Amino acid sequence: MTTALITHTDCLAHVTPPGHPEQVARLDSILAALAPLQLPLTQAPLAAEDDILRAHPAAHLQTIREAAPDEGWRSLDADTHMSVGTLQAAFRSAGGAVKAVDMVMAGQAQNAFVATRPPGHHAERETAMGFCFFGNVAIAAKHALDHHGLSRVAIVDFDVHHGNGTQDLVEDDARILFCSTHQMPLYPGTGHAHETGVGNVLNVPLPDGAGSKAFRAAMETHVLPRVAAHKPELLLISAGFDAHAHDPLAGMMLTEDDFAWATTKICDLAEEHAGGRVVSCLEGGYDLEALGRSAYAHAKVLKERSNG
């Protein structure tokens, strides 16, 4: 088996206003960086409405559809903007995450990296925010449980920003463990250690300036043991690379080696509990060079583990 790379050119048609950090060039940079790995490419399908409705109410889906502009941009908040191509791209991002689950569960790939945009981990049940419209990784988790009959899945989010949307979408479902390392204080202001859901949420906030030592200690002391105790049958990753030292939107000091290390540790747990099944969904990362290097380091580990 191998590592599936799931993407779609529609994700390049989500055009944000000039100067916006969540820009088309992010995906261009990632795909260029991943080219040497020669991962087999799968086109991200449009998400089925039923899959989105596993995580969001119909009213939210209707709001996003009605907000889609015929020209120019429409702003849902100060950070979150829709262009003519955004709605289609958002459906591809959610659909790509679901497709990745289907491929991994069917044994068509050992693991998968969903390189799509817009990202998803800030999208709450009825609120698009933080560049996000649908909760892609939460949608994928719920699909794995409901469609593939799994009993336990885990999401590990190492984006520098707390995945408030993912937490909102899964915190009442004990089948889904959500673990997040993130800088605090920082947007969106959630992710305190006392936010525990129904016992299925683990937040490990880290201070501005935290580097490799603090991040790895948080993973080894808190996140990895908690995931192991949950014994997930599938591991999902919210792969944000904006905790990199060069990223302009935050203050953590990680390098691409830290992302490779974290990916290795997550794959170890997947091999122990989930038959090696891992689905990774792109979230943040806004320095284009650092983003490309980090995505390459992440996907290289996935490829090495899929061939192992």
pLDDT in tens, 40-94: 999 999 999 999 999 999 999 999 999 999 999 999 999 999 999 999 999 999 9
Q: What confidence score (pLDDT) does residue 90 get? A: 98
Helix, strand or coil for residue 180?
strand
E strand or H helix at 278, and its extent? Answer: strand 278-282
Residues 283 and 22: their CA atoms lie apart, in Å, by 10
Spans of the chain below 70 pLDDT: 308
CATH class of residue range 3-307: alpha beta
Active-site residues: which are they?
122
- The pairing of strands 74-75 and 81-82 is antiparallel
Q: What confidence score (pLDDT) does residue 307 get? A: 76
Q: Which two tokens stand for residue 140?
A: 């994928």
Q: What confidence score (pLDDT) does residue 78 get? A: 95
Does residue 118 have a cis peptide bond before it, meaning omega lies within 30 degrees of 0?
Answer: yes
Residues 72 and 74: their CA atoms lie apart, in Å, by 7
Q: Where do runs of H (alpha helix) occur along the chain? A: 24-34, 49-53, 58-67, 86-105, 136-148, 164-170, 212-218, 224-230, 256-273, 288-307
Residues 75 and 165: their CA atoms lie apart, in Å, by 19
Q: Residues 135-155: pLDDT tens digits?
A: 999 999 999 999 999 999 999
Q: Are 137 and 281 in contact (CB under 8 A)?
A: yes
Residues 212 and 257: their CA atoms lie apart, in Å, by 9
Please give the single-letter amino acid code of residue 199.
Answer: G
- What would you report as the CA-atom Rg of the chain, rounded to the nearest whole angstrom? 17
* Phi and psi, residue 53, nearest 5°: -75, -10
Q: What confidence score (pLDDT) does residue 76 get? A: 97
Residues 161 and 112: their CA atoms lie apart, in Å, by 23
Q: Are 241 and 259 in contact (CB under 8 A)?
A: yes
- The pairing of strands 153-157 and 176-183 is parallel
